[in-house]
């Protein structure tokens, strides 16, 4: 702990300062928003539909550019980077889980989980720090998320929704990204499965040292998080 004081301060995983965004010809949906997500922190974002949850995720993921303010990911000025640099930063540092239909249907679960390592050298390198091959890393993650070897070679479209979401989680976590963004990942699951999935996700993101931005309209899940943002 003492040595940490001497080193440069660890930048937050994500920081927004004074961010405003509006869709073309409509009122600002996000106005002067500032927030910090520290390394390893778990943030729950809730709010009714149309409140700007997805817009916020789009901003953090670098898909949308704010009209005002700045967004930094791991200290890098994400919102002012050029498109290709932003794509690279996203590929290296972000894991993304959609609401549903997360998997590329013609790839097996293992191939799906390997995708980030195929596009990002950084993710591949990080996976190779702990495992002899990226494939071994994918298989280990899948196993930890209760996707056993009997499912690895199966067509992803043949998996149940819950299994698909766990494969998506493995894919988001491979190669230890700084930040995990989950956009209503439990909305297609029943409440028992939701909680189980969330706990697995939280455990694995802690294992990977990643911060977690979790969007849901299901406020009962909020207790599992370090902080809640209501939009």
Among 12, 69, 91, 185, binds other proteins (CB under 8 A): 91
Among 29, 35, 76, 115, binds other proteins (CB under 8 A): 115
- Cα separation, 174 vs 115, whole angstroms: 9
Closer CB to other proteins, 9 or 83, in the complex? 83
| 83 forms part of the interface with other proteins (CB under 8 A) | yes
Distances (CA, A) of 155 to 111, 140, 173, 176, 222: 10, 19, 21, 25, 34
Among 42, 72, 166, 171, binds other proteins (CB under 8 A): 171
Q: Answer whether 180's CB lies under 8 Å from 44's CB.
A: no
Residue 128 has a CB neighbour count (10 Å cut-off) of 15
| 23 forms part of the interface with other proteins (CB under 8 A) | no
- Cα separation, 189 vs 24, whole angstroms: 34
Among 104, 130, 133, 199, binds other proteins (CB under 8 A): 104
| 120 forms part of the interface with other proteins (CB under 8 A) | yes
Q: Which of 22, 31, 187, 23 is nearest to 100 (CA)?
A: 187
Binding region for other proteins (CB under 8 A) out of 18-26, 79-87, 145-153, 202-210: 79-87
| 47 forms part of the interface with other proteins (CB under 8 A) | no
| 116 forms part of the interface with other proteins (CB under 8 A) | yes
């Amino acid at each position: 702990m003492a040595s940490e004081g001497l080193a440069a301060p660890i930048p937050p995983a994500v920081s927004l300062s004074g961010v405003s965004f509006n869709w073309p010809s409509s009122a600002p949906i996000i106005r002067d928003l500032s927030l910090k997500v520290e390394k390893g922190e778990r943030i729950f974002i809730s709010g009714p539909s149309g409140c700007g949850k997805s817009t916020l995720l789009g901003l953090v993921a670098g898909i949308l550019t704010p009209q005002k303010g700045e967004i930094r990911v791991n200290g890098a000025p994400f919102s002012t980077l050029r498109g290709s640099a932003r794509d690279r930063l996203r590929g290296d540092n972000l894991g993304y889980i959609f609401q549903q239909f997360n998997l590329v249907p013609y790839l097996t679960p293992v191939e799906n989980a390997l995708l980030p390592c195929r596009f990002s050298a950084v993710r591949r390198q990080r996976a190779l720090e702990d495992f002899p091959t990226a494939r071994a890393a994918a298989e280990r993650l899948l196993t930890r998320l209760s996707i056993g070897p009997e499912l690895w070679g199966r067509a992803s479209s043949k998996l149940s929704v819950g299994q698909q979401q766990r494969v998506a989680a493995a894919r988001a976590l491979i190669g230890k990204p700084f930040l995990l963004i989950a956009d209503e990942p439990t909305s297609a699951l029943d409440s028992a499965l939701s909680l189980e999935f969330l706990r697995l996700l939280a455990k694995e993101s802690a294992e990977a040292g990643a911060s977690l931005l979790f969007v849901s309209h299901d406020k009962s899940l909020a207790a599992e998080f370090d902080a809640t943002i209501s939009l």
